[in-house]
């Protein structure tokens, strides 16, 4: 196999610090540069996938020798169907092959194409595909597929459709280095497939979903670019989705790796999604200009089919020019079933969250053993990390949250949104940009330790049982002179302080040989005592006192 790496002229535009313009849209350089391994052509961002070109086509049959014209005018459907029926390996030389109806594949087939081989799906109707494959051992590479469904959704219209069933699962599927565009539903759909590879494909201008995996297992989706999935509606447009055909009926997708893909411009919904996936790894992807970044969600609001054993790691997710972003990473289980063992680690999330504190750059609900670790969150609205409701035994640790935007509601770096939750918030760094570092609502078993909250602000509503949480307030006071062996007291309001909590009081002023202590004397009230045991009168200066209450 010969490997070719295309080096295109417009790389120099990046090096020169220029922006890339696509129609009336501008893709800024910082977004372009974040697309790992991305190259640029005149239509926008493109992955540089190492293209595989067969140096030895021995055993392949040239479709033009079997009657296909490839002239862009003749309907080659019959000639190609006959070729597929009679041969296991077909080669499409350069040309434009116009197809007026589906090509049905019911046995093993390998397809290769020349650099300028283009196949036109010259019909657009629901439940159709250019290649409808009802067989194992399908290998399609190095061809271009183009439809005619411009700016309209066509239900279940695909470029390549691997169509298995629960009793006839198709394995040995390989779709690599294709170029697919202008289709009504999805470029590639694998339904009840196994041991599949989808890699190095360029998918552009699809009207619902780039790559759709339904009830399939043991696959790899890597090094693809999926761009401009923008015709559908909120709730049903995806760059890459791992799901199932019918909720609570078909099997979930499982044991799939989604890595090193670039998804650009899905402005209505999600870059990468799994509905009730199991043992899914979403790693090292770049997602730009998508309303939602990466979602791991339930099958339906009441379904017992929920995501389990999901890893979301080392992804770069940037809002870009999307006007109404939701969460960058998130979702969870259903009202009656917990999502389990979700790990969100080492991701970079920029610009997500909406103008209410029930969302966030990272937001989850209804989970058990959720781990949110070492992520970097910037420019989020309302909240950085939002633990929404029904989360048990979560761990939020070593995350960095900066540049929080308030919107029209209270904002916080980390929000524990509802009562009855349990978990640990430890070793996080929050620069909340004058907003709250933390907001905690309701009673729960939430443990806080060793966090750096620069704003020293928090809002704690009914959070009596937030163990280890540090509440910091300051006050300025000018006390009268204190006689020898006497004391002076004053009080400060510390929201959510309760009797029995630990209190530390400090001041930078030089008051003399006195002791300064504090205790929670009543709900939300800390009494500060200055005891003068110096043997002489002490006159404390006007100074600031810092009070830290640690929840017990």
Q: Which domains does the chain have, with CATH numbers?
A: 2-47 (no CATH), 50-232 (2.160.20.10), 473-550 (2.60.40)
pLDDT the model gives residue 551? 72
Average pLDDT score over residue span 160-164: 98
The closest alpha carbon to 252, from 303, 299, 293, belongs to 299
Burial class (CB in 10 A: 0-12, 13-18, 19+), 138: buried
pLDDT the model gives residue 233? 55
Q: What is the band of 455 on the pLDDT scale with cuts at 50, 70, 90?
A: low
Average pLDDT score over residue span 415-419: 83
Question: What mean pLDDT, rounded, does the chain reach?
Answer: 85
- The residues, ordered by sequence, that sit 6+ positions from 499 with a Cβ below 8 Å of its Cβ are 519, 520, 521, 522, 523
Stretch among 15-29, 107-121, 470-484, 498-512 having the lowest mean pLDDT: 15-29
Tokens describing residue 152: 């309209």
β-strands 543-550, 502-506 pairing: antiparallel
Q: Is the pLDDT of residue 303 over 90?
A: no
Higher pLDDT pick, 264 / 547: 264
DSSP 137: -
Cβ atoms < 10 Å from Cβ of 321: 15
| Three-class SS state of 97 | strand
pLDDT the model gives residue 150? 78
pLDDT the model gives residue 58? 86
Average pLDDT score over residue span 471-483: 83
β-strands 20-22, 25-27 pairing: antiparallel
Beta strands in 184-243 (DSSP E): 186-191, 193-199, 202-206, 209-214, 217-222, 225-227, 238-243
Higher pLDDT pick, 20 / 320: 320
Which position has the token pair 């600031």? 544
């Amino acid at each position: 196999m010969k490997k070719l790496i295309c080096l295109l002229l417009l790389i120099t535009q990046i090096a020169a610090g220029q922006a890339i313009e696509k129609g009336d849209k501008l893709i800024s350089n910082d977004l372009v540069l974040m697309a790992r391994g991305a190259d640029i052509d005149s239509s926008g961002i493109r992955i540089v996938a190492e293209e595989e070109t067969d140096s030895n086509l021995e055993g392949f049959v040239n479709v033009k020798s079997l009657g296909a014209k490839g002239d862009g005018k003749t309907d080659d459907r019959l000639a190609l169907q006959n070729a597929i029926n009679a041969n296991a390996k077909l080669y499409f030389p350069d040309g434009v092959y116009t197809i007026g109806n589906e090509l049905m594949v019911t046995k093993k087939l390998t397809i290769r194409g020349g650099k300028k081989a283009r196949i036109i799906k010259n019909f657009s109707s629901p439940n159709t595909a250019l290649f409808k494959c009802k067989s194992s051992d399908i290998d399609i590479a190095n061809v271009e597929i183009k439809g005619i469904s411009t700016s309209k959704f066509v239900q279940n219209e695909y470029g390549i459709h691997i169509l298995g069933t629960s009793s006839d699962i198709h394995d040995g599927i390989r779709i690599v280095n294709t170029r697919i565009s202008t289709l009504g539903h999805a470029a590639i759909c694998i339904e009840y497939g196994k041991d599949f590879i989808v890699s190095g494909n360029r998918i552009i201008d699809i009207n619902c979903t780039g790559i759709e995996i339904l009830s399939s297992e043991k696959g790899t989706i890597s090094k693809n670019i999926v761009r401009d999935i923008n015709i559908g509606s909120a709730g049903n447009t995806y760059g890459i989705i791992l799901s199932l055909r019918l909720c609570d009926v078909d099997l979930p997708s499982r044991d799939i790796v989604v890595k090193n893909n670039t998804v650009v411009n899905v402005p209505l919904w999600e870059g990468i999604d799994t509905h009730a996936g199991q043992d899914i790894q979403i790693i090292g992807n770049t997602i730009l200009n998508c309303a939602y970044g990466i979602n791991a969600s339930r099958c339906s609001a009441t379904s017992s089919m929920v995501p389990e054993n999901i890893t979301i790691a080392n992804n770069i997710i940037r809002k870009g020019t999307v006007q109404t972003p939701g969460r960058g990473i998130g979702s969870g289980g259903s009202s009656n079933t917990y999502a389990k063992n979700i790990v969100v680690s080492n991701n970079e999330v920029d610009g997500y969250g909406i103008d209410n504190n029930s969302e966030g750059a990272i937001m989850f609900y209804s989970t058990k053993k959720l781990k949110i670790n070492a992520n970097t969150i910037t420019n989020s609205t309302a909240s950085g990390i939002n633990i929404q409701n029904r989360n048990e035994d979560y761990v939020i640790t070593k995350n960095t949250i900066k540049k929080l935007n308030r919107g029209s509601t209270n904002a916080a770096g980390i929000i524990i949104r509802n009562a009855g939750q349990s978990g640990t918030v430890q070793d996080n760094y929050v620069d909340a940009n004058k907003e709250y570092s933390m907001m905690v609502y309701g009673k729960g078993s939430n443990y806080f330790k060793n966090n750096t909250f620069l704003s020293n602000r928090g809002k704690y509503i009914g959070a009596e049982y937030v163990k280890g949480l540090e509440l910091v307030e300051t006050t300025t006071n000018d006390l009268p002179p204190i006689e020898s062996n006497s004391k002076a007291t004053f009080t400060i309001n510390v929201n959510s302080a309760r009797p029995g909590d630990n209190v530390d009081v400090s001041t930078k002023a030089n008051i003399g040989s006195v002791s300064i202590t504090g205790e929670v004397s009543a709900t939300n009230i800390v009494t500060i005592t200055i005891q003068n045991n110096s043997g002489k009168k002490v006159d404390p200066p006007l100074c600031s006192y810092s009070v830290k209450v640690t929840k017990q």
